[in-house]
Homo-oligomer: A and B are copies of this chain.
Amino acid sequence: MARDIQERIKKLIIDRRLAPGAPLPTETDLMELLGVSRNSVREALKALQAMGIVEIRHGFGTYVGPMSMAPMTEGLAFRTVAGHYRGEDSLLQLLELREAVETGLIARLAGQVPEAALAELDELVGRMAAEAAEGAVRADTDRAFHAALYRGLGNRLLSEVLDAFWEAFHRVRTDLAGLGADPRVTHRQHAEILAAVRDGDALRAEQAVRSHFDNIRLRLRSSGQK
């Protein structure tokens, strides 16, 4: 029955064509509308909130959620942490998921990235160089580079999924292993990826991405032996 309530609220969003950010009926209204107690309504909303379908703001109201990939990030991260503590190589699997997908995509991107995006990537690589000189590349910069790179594929859903993978990996990594790659190597590898993509050399681009992931994997293995 609880399942049923969730479905009916979802149906309500669909039927009313509610866009993300649109207000939903109050808990009291939903009570009457669905003919169940407030408690049940709240449990259903909590579940929908966990899936990112609704957004609840205390003292303000309930709204249609952003439908982002945040819940997926959350779930992936937890699954990976839980697996890690039980002796699985879940973090490595997550990294290899990213590697498999990103190396597969980079070839299609080579030579296809518009000038504006290349300029943005140039700026990010420049920032990496500056940050490397000061000791460590900021995580945000790395994330922005990957996001800007695959934005060129022109699929927002794909971009969000890749970003979710990135974030899940990053969160688990900083939680478990002390993060730490040689910032100068990181900078050099990103510069190489960008150069290959700019030249339209698909094979070299793929090799560059693979090297980048090899580097991360190496760091993971060395710090993970505890």
Give the residues in chain B near A208, CB-CB below 8 Å. Answer: none
List 26 A–B pairs whose Cβ atoms lie within 8 Å, in order of A's numbering: A19-B86, A43-B43, A44-B46, A46-B47, A47-B47, A51-B71, A51-B78, A53-B78, A67-B75, A71-B71, A71-B72, A93-B156, A93-B158, A94-B157, A96-B155, A97-B155, A97-B161, A100-B108, A100-B153, A101-B104, A101-B158, A103-B104, A103-B108, A104-B104, A104-B105, A104-B108
Residues of B within 8 A of A42 (CB): 43
Which residue of B51, B85, B158 contacts A97 across the interface (Cβ within 8 Å)? B158
Cβ-closest chain B residue relative to A164: B72
Interface of A is mostly: helix
Closest to A74 in B: B51
Q: How many copies does the complex hold?
A: 2
Q: How far is the CA of A61 from the CA of B93 in the complex (A)?
A: 31
Cα(A18)–Cα(B78), bound, Å: 13
Q: Is A39 an interface residue (CB 8 A)?
A: yes
Leading 5 A-B pairs by shortest Cβ distance:
A104-B104, A47-B50, A50-B50, A67-B79, A93-B157
Pair A75/B51 contact, Cβ less than 8 Å: yes
Given contacts A67-B79, A157-B93, A158-B100, contact A86 B50 (CB under 8 A): no
| Residues of chain B lying within 8 A (CB to CB) of residue A153 | 100
Residues of B within 8 A of A39 (CB): 39
Task: Say yes or no: B75 contacts A71, CB within 8 Å.
Answer: yes
Segment of A9-17, A131-139, A141-149, A180-188 in the binding face: A9-17
Q: If A94-B157, A104-B104, A105-B104 touch, does A78 touch B43 (CB 8 Å cutoff)?
A: no
Residues on the B chain within 8 Å of A46, using CB = 2, 43-44, 46-47, 50
